[in-house]
Amino acid sequence: MSVNGRPAPFSFDEKRARLKIPGVPTRKSIVEIQYSKQVSDDVIFGLYKSKYGKDYILATDLEPSEARTVFPCVDDPAYKAVFRLQITTEDGLGVIANTPIVRKERKGVGRVTFTFQETPRMSTYLFFFAIGKFEETKRTAGGIDVITATRPGQAENSQVALKISADALLEYQDYYEVPYPLKKLHIVALPEYHTGAMENWGAIASRESYALIREDTNFRLKNRGAMSMVHEVAHQWFGDLVTMKWWDDLWLNESFATMMSYKMTQKLHPDWEMWAVFLRDEVFLRDGAMKLDALSTTHPVQARVKNVAEATHTFDSISYGKGACVLRMLEGYIGEEAFRAGVSDYLKKFSFSNATGKDLWDALGRRSGLPVTSLARAWLTRPGYPLVKARVVGGKVELTQHPFRFGEGGASGIWPIPIMMRADGKEKSFILNRESVRLDVTAASELLLNLGRTGFYVTLYDEATYELLGSNFPRLSPYDRAGAMNDLHLLLQAGLVEPALYARFVSLCAANPDSVTTQVVAEQLRVVEAIASDSLAVHGMIHSFCQPLLEHFGETPWPGEPPSVGTTREYLTSMFVQADGPYAEKMAKLFDHYTNLDPNLKAAAAIGFAITNGAGAEKALRDMVTASESEVERDMIYKGLSAFRDPKLIQHSLDLGLTGRVSRSDLHYSMIHSALNPYARDVVWQWVKKNYDAIWRLYAGSQQFYIDVGRVIPVCAVEHESDAKRFLSGRRLKEGGSSVIRVLEMLRINVELRRRLLRSGN
């Protein structure tokens, strides 16, 4: 190392990747550092080998704090820097970085040096490069090259991602009124990737199942992939051009990109019903915003983050989903145009620099003339959300708010709740900003809160009002029905309503079919079944739900049906096939024509084939998964490999992900799907214990590890709670902190729910 041309002493703390250089003159010093790094074979995070076949792509993934493990830097989002990058590598390989290549020259025998255009000022976590054999496809959007890069042979599968990314780029230029800040935008599909996708400036990196989708891909997966491209393109401005000052405002990036990705995808594909998907996947999901925000481990959307280790734990559905709900609420409050103009002002003012949440509220406040800051603060700087109890007293409606919590600890206090309600045919909206209010409205025939599902709260009605809600159920909008089911399911988990009431409304959903409610309830029932399939009540619920709905939606698409119906069909068939023997046999027959099958039925066919044939199905499914070049296809075959009734076969499937014979990204699928198989609970729990540390190392302790184990352990360990507590103590607790406590809290909820379900039905 040298400082201003003179050799300089330094110390290096490898564990923290911290370099200390004493005696550097404070202003305008030139520090030169020569360093080397050995790329580990065992991780899929940081600088790593993303392997396929016998080859690999060397790639980076640096958020939040891996940049320091790749090159010396002040690794803090507020310290933006200009990068001039040169990479020398073997001849015949391609290199992709944040900016375009300006020169490519031979350097000795078989070596080539790539020189990249100087970057604008940017944060270190957005730095990217990848080296490998790439196939590229290009499209121009408003003069900007949008390029997908895949491993050889996959270019044609990147067309959908390419088109929607280019379309989104043009839409955002309009929306933000700021031109795309760079000269090109890559979408790099990586065969092994630990999470979904990452917004590196000018070079988005993605899991193959998000970037390599086709027009004929299963609609749910196509939709998810396309939406995630639109999310990462939103970040190219919001996050990359203007970056949060510190990780406590990570939510500002993620909530905004989440909200925008649904808004823009809806604009580009009006028939995709993206707000229904938003509620299903971001808000209502089993580890979605409303679940996590009612645990003691919750945090304000705008979290206190002391160091980057803490930043890691805030990549969750509170930062993405709840934050996006609050932004939607604010947009509704000030109007779409004032919101857009405020965002545009904010981006123009802080281009190539950093900003905080307050800077955005100020911009929105100036454009709208409304007190945005106070409403935003109340919802973003405090954890949790309210439970609104609605009851009819003496013919009048009374509303009372309390913090909604599953156990001890977590949220407290009063929220300013924008209430939108309907009572006896009259709509009413106001802000409830005290504990209790008695309204001068009657509710003799009808009372419904949270109309259109724009409020972030849960409603508990009194007994008589639930009667009314039941009889009015056919007349509710799909969002209101799905919202009511979401609330009932949360209340069931919190022990505030009985399983019988929830079951009654499940039957009402079956009698009044709509797509979004069916999907939301199917998501709920999958976990209910996984933790308590031995309860007669659960068995009854699943049959009374699936049978009439399968009859209604059928197994073959009808002409002109909305695409979401395909997803509804996928949910229903793949759930009922697990629960009903004869239906599994029927679905198994479809497996003969698997390749040409309706993509929304493939999962059910694979599951039916596995259940019906047991060990006899294993080889065929394993061969398919090891031979398949397509991650979206493998996802569905893993559903079959995870559905066996014989624990030994489940163990084989789980082990496969660690053998190196399949992409290490696949581990995610075998774990998630097996955990939902009620016959596999014990073997999955034993397997997780045995391999926990190995998987943690593979994910290099990234948040994706805790997201995955957070979906698996609370289900598979439902009969091993004290074992799980013991296992997740000591070192593992220290490593995982609040993420580990959260896993145990979710397990506690499932243990209690299982107890109540078994008591109620058997």
Residue 614, helix vs strand vs coil: coil
User: Which of 116, 320 has the CB closer to Zn ion?
Assistant: 320
Give exposure, 107-135, as e/b (b: 16+ Cβ within 10 Å).
eeeeebebebbebbebbbbbbbbbbbebb
CB of 185 to Zn ion, least distance (A): 15
CB of 558 to Zn ion, least distance (A): 36
User: Which of 257, 411 has the CB closer to Zn ion?
Assistant: 257
CB of 45 to Zn ion, least distance (A): 16
DSSP 645-660: SSHHHHHHHHHHTTTT
CB of 73 to Zn ion, least distance (A): 22
Which x/- pattern over 286-315 shows residues binding Zn ion (rule: CB under 5 A)?
------------------------------
d(CA 67, CA 362) in angstroms, rounded, equals: 32
d(CA 125, CA 47) in angstroms, rounded, equals: 12
Going by the DSSP 8-state scheme, the letter that residue 712 receives in this structure is H
Residue number of the CB closest to Zn ion reads 257
Which range, of 251-259, 416-424, 565-573, 744-752, touches Zn ion by CB under 5 A? 251-259
Which range, of 168-176, 252-260, 386-394, 538-546, touches Zn ion by CB under 5 A? 252-260
CB of 95 to Zn ion, least distance (A): 25
d(CA 282, CA 700) in angstroms, rounded, equals: 25
Residues 386 and 392 sit within 8 Å (Cβ to Cβ): no
179 class by beta-carbon count within 10 Å (0-12 exposed, 13-18 middle, 19+ buried): exposed
Pair type for strands 197-198 and 203-207: antiparallel
User: Which of 259, 675 has the CB closer to Zn ion?
Assistant: 259
User: Which of 204, 753 has the CB closer to Zn ion?
Assistant: 204
From 232, 282, 529, 618, active-site residue: 232
Residues 255 and 323 sit within 8 Å (Cβ to Cβ): yes
Residues 343 and 733 sit within 8 Å (Cβ to Cβ): no
Q: Is 146 in the site for Zn ion (CB under 5 A)?
A: no
Which range, of 156-164, 249-257, 545-553, 624-632, touches Zn ion by CB under 5 A? 249-257
Show the tokens assigned to 459: 């409603």
Phi, psi angles (nearest 5°) of residue 298: -65, 170
Show the tokens assigned to 43: 């991780």
Q: Is 446 a residue of the active site?
A: no
d(CA 353, CA 240) in angstroms, rounded, equals: 9
Which range, of 246-254, 284-292, 356-364, 392-400, touches Zn ion by CB under 5 A? 246-254
User: Which of 61, 745 has the CB closer to Zn ion?
Assistant: 61
User: Which of 248, 254 has the CB closer to Zn ion?
Assistant: 254
Total chain residues near Zn ion (CB under 5 A): 2
Contacts of Zn ion in 725-754 (CB under 5 A) = none
User: Which of 117, 124 has the CB closer to Zn ion?
Assistant: 124
- In this structure, is the dihedral angle defined by the CA atoms of residues 318, 323, 325 and 329, taken in order, positive or negative? positive
User: Which of 227, 458 has the CB closer to Zn ion?
Assistant: 227
d(CA 297, CA 292) in angstroms, rounded, equals: 8
DSSP 550-572: HHHH-SSPPTT--HHHHHHHHHH
CB of 232 to Zn ion, least distance (A): 7
User: Which of 167, 240 has the CB closer to Zn ion?
Assistant: 240
CB of 128 to Zn ion, least distance (A): 15
Kindly give the interhelix angle for 219-235 and 631-641, rounded to the nearest 10 degrees.
Answer: 130
Contacts of Zn ion in 381-420 (CB under 5 A) = none
CB of 253 to Zn ion, least distance (A): 6
Neighbours of 371 (CB within 10 A): 12
Show the tokens assigned to 394: 């003496």
Q: Is 257 in the site for Zn ion (CB under 5 A)?
A: yes
Enumerate residues 6+ apart whose C-beta is below 8 A from 46: 60, 61, 62, 66, 69, 70, 700
CB of 3 to Zn ion, least distance (A): 37
User: Which of 129, 256 has the CB closer to Zn ion?
Assistant: 256
d(CA 112, CA 490) in angstroms, rounded, equals: 58
At residue 137's C-alpha, the angle toward residues 161 and 213, to 5°, is: 30
User: Which of 128, 479 has the CB closer to Zn ion?
Assistant: 128
Contacts of Zn ion in 517-556 (CB under 5 A) = none
CB of 403 to Zn ion, least distance (A): 29
Distance of CA 743 to the CA centre of its chain: 17
User: Which of 185, 611 has the CB closer to Zn ion?
Assistant: 185
d(CA 685, CA 708) in angstroms, rounded, equals: 13
CB of 239 to Zn ion, least distance (A): 7
Q: Is 197 in the site for Zn ion (CB under 5 A)?
A: no
Phi, psi angles (nearest 5°) of residue 508: -65, -35
Phi, psi angles (nearest 5°) of residue 389: -90, 125
Which range, of 155-163, 171-179, 255-263, 264-272, touches Zn ion by CB under 5 A? 255-263
d(CA 161, CA 722) in angstroms, rounded, equals: 45
SS3 string, 67-116, reads HHHCCCCCCCCCCCECCCCEEEEECCCEEEECCCEEEEEECCCCEEEEEE
End-to-end Cα, the chain, rounded Å: 72
Which range, of 253-261, 348-356, 401-409, 561-569, touches Zn ion by CB under 5 A? 253-261
Neighbours of 304 (CB within 10 A): 10
Which range, of 164-172, 213-221, 248-256, 341-349, touches Zn ion by CB under 5 A? 248-256
Give exposure, 685-704, as e/b (b: 16+ Cβ within 10 Å).
bbbbbebbeebbebbbbbbb
Binding site for Zn ion (CB under 5 A): 254, 257
Q: Which residues are catalytic?
A: 232
